[in-house]
Amino acid sequence: MFSNLIADRTEKLDAVDIQKLKGKATEMMVEVKTILERNNVNFWIEFGTFLGAVRNGQMIPWDSDIDIGVFDDSFVNTQEVLNDLAKNGYQFKYRPDRIKIYKAGWWLGAFNFDLHLYHVDKDIAYISADMTDPSLLNSMFNRLEWAISLFNRKEQTVYRFDDIMKLLAKRFDITDPNSLPEKIFFKKGPYNSELSMRLLGDNFCLEGSPIEPDNITFLTRTAVVFFGKLPSTAITALNTIISKLRPKEKQTQEQQWIPVHLFSNLSEITLCGIPFKGPRAREEYLELLYGPNWRIPNSQWKRKDQGIIKSVR
């Protein structure tokens, strides 16, 4: 079956070497850690990154965010740090609660750092994110814009490591490196989405799609089919029209609250053979975030499942 797929392909297939991608992520950890320490940034690993380090000293197999935290009021040399990172080929995306740090040009199997900026209020450390609270009308516009974006290839799509692993998990036990196939090949899917891909190998073909029935409604799927028949000029024009017609969305703020003592008292922990700092009270921190069963891997866990999220109007 695989030989036929190769013979029929219209695009070049890219090899996916899981171990090499993990090795590249480890090199990224060393490089970013060195730059932060060179600039006297006091940071720690947290969230799923810390969870993986505590469990077995490795990243969680289906995660590609390397989570680190700093106290915002101590991160006074932000621009100097970012300039140093930029000199080493890193780019940034700014969010209210974090700075996303990623390697320029890494589009297949990419990892990134999420640098969370914590504020302190008495005995609580928190990060804030602006959220939209869409009306029914705005929800409709969101679905239309998302459907149009699937056919708008203005930028290079980044296919993250975690999305590749989640697709492989449909056939293989990704928690066991020995169960993964030696040869994996990647092909871009038809949509402008990080989920649109094919993974091919001996006796298997896995197809990922953003329009699987569990992900979208019937009406959204119908819109995708309709937009897929339009020329690119019409797609661009529709995108402009919808952006102008969209009503203003109501904004809310979401905060994640964590007792400040968990970040004030740190100890060394090893991740991928690299020494980092993390909360000394490991079990208290992990149970607060992930509940009493945090030791059990759960690939279906969602951020909304955390008990530390508060909505602030």
Give the model confidence (pLDDT) of 85-129 as tens digits: 999 999 999 988 899 999 999 999 999 999 999 999 999 999 987
Q: Supply the pLDDT for residue 132.
A: 65
Mean of pLDDT over the chain: 88
The residue behind tokens 């915002």 is 72
Q: When comparing pLDDT for 303 and 26, which is higher?
A: 26
The residue behind tokens 């969680």 is 60
Any bridge partners for residue 112, and if so which? 65, 102
Give CB contacts under 8 A, 24+ apart, made by 266-271.
266/44, 269/45, 269/50, 269/53, 269/54, 270/53, 270/57, 271/29, 271/45, 271/49, 271/52, 271/53, 271/57, 271/58, 271/59
Q: When comparing pLDDT for 236 and 66, which is higher?
A: 66
CB 129, CB 121: distance < 8 Å: no
pLDDT in tens, 146-192: 889 898 766 789 999 999 999 999 999 998 888 999 899 999 999 99
Q: When comparing pLDDT for 235 and 301, which is higher?
A: 235
Q: How confident is the model at residue 1 (pLDDT cuts 50, 70, 90)?
A: very low
Token duo for residue 202: 């001996």
Q: Supply the pLDDT for residue 243.
A: 83
pLDDT surpasses 50 at 5: no
Backbone φ and ψ for 55, nearest 5 degrees, come out as: -65, -55
Q: pTM of the predicted model, to two decimals? A: 0.87
Any bridge partners for residue 207, and if so which? 198
pLDDT in tens, 213-264: 666 778 788 888 888 888 988 988 988 898 888 887 777 778 889 999 999 9
pLDDT in tens, 127-145: 987 666 667 778 888 888 8
Q: Supply the pLDDT for residue 3.
A: 35
Backbone φ and ψ for 213, nearest 5 degrees, come out as: -55, -35
CATH 3.30.460.40 for domain 2-131+252-312, yes or no, is yes
DSSP conformation letters of 76-133 = TTHHHHHHHHHHTTEEEEEETTEEEEEETT--EEE-EEEEEEEEEETTEEEEEEEEEE
Q: What is the DSSP letter of 157?
A: P
Domain boundaries, the chain: 2-131+252-312, 135-150+211-248
- Distance, in Å, from the CA atom of 148 to the CA atom of 228, rounded to the nearest integer, reads 8
